[in-house]
Amino acid sequence: MSGDISVAPGHPQRVSAATGVLPEIAARAAEAIAIRHDLHRHPELAFEEHRTSARVAELLQHWGYAVTTGVGGTGVIGTLQRGNGTRRLGLRADMDALPIAEETGLAYASQNEGLMHACGHDGHTAILLSAAHYLAHHGRFSGTLHLVFQPAEETGSGASKMIDDGLFERFPVDAIYGLHNWPGVPVGHFGFVDGPAMASVDWARLKVIGKGGHGAEPQGSVDPILAAAHIVTALQSVVSRNVDPRQMGVVTVGSIHGGQAANVIPDAVELTLTVRAYLPDVRDTLRRRVIEIAEQTASAFGARAEISFPRGFPSVINHAGQTALVRDLAVQAFGREQVVADFAPRTASEDFAFLLQARPGSFIFVGNGDSASLHSPRYVFNDAAIAPAASLWARLAEHYLVEEAA
């Protein structure tokens, strides 16, 4: 149903980003930034977002939302219903931080040692809260709005935990939207992707088991380091010789540990890997070939490979109708120059993928300007992105939640 909605035809007049920001949101930009800085000072890891959740719930309740806490652990849902409209829209923000020691030198830097909002989830939460304030006080819509503040995105388990806790049965939506800031894209500009927008990710732990011995007498041993070295090399053929060159796949060996002394051959070596793809069939191919190469290469050297390869989370696959809708709204509000032409899919991963498997929707990107990369201890979320992104969320809610289907 929602995929059939379209924005009014015609070529919108070119406008500045300032024009695209709703005046009511611009007027309280300083307050939204203060909220973001407060969240940044108090980062919390996955499923430990107790202070963050309480702060979000407090603000939503103060603004008149019906608030439900504890969804999927530490998740918060803010619900606002108006008029007789039957449409139901979900907007999602993630709340968790990372186990990274901050090196920004900001006046509002993390006060929790070893923890940091190094991915901008504090900014995403502030964006949705800014839109929430506008919609509660000025929003013109008819229908039901569910604001989803999700825990544990970084571990890939928050979205699925909320779904398992009855997210869409308790708070049904016809479409769900989310966003992420992106360094290197001009601040306040927007990126939209049809179809696969971010990669799936699976993590593997590989143990190569041999037979230890003295480094001076390798003939009496089965060297797991030698076998592991050949496995690492062979794994580089998985994508180049098993995946269509027009598709994307990544196999990365991120760590290798084995041995403690130069003259001792260890009994075992451990490796960890990440495996990413856009398409489900490519994901399955990578998984199969990683296992086969690890086991058979180890065997060729007289060793044995034990591999733990649990499923991570799938690729973010945007729905065409919902993506076209929000893209057209951005063009109308901000002008075509604020929408990045041919924005490319990202090879990072996001557990918003689980939400898009359950309901139609789209995951969009907002520019963070010239900043350090995501997950860097020097990353800084750009506060100038809050008002444009919040305005887009507000416009989407007002457009989507109407009395009758278009």
- What pLDDT was estimated at residue 4? 28
Distance between CA atoms of residues 301 and 258, nearest Å: 16
pTM, full prediction:
0.91
Count of Cβ atoms closer than 10 Å to residue 211 Cβ = 15
Helix (H, G, I), strand (E, B) or coil at 285: helix
Residue 9: its pLDDT value, please?
Answer: 29
Give residue 18's pLDDT band: very low, low, confident or very high (50, 70, 90): low
Q: Which residues contact 369 (CB under 8 A, 6 or more apart)?
A: 183, 185, 186, 187, 382, 384, 385
DSSP 8-state class, residue 401? S
**With contact defined as beta carbons under 8 Å apart, do 346 and 172 qualify?**
no
- pLDDT tens, residue by residue, 225-268: 999 999 999 999 999 999 999 999 999 999 999 999 999 999 99
Q: What is the mean pLDDT of residues 355-372?
A: 98
Q: 24 vs 7, which has greater pLDDT? A: 24
Q: What is the pLDDT of residue 31?
A: 98
pLDDT (average), residues 166-172: 98
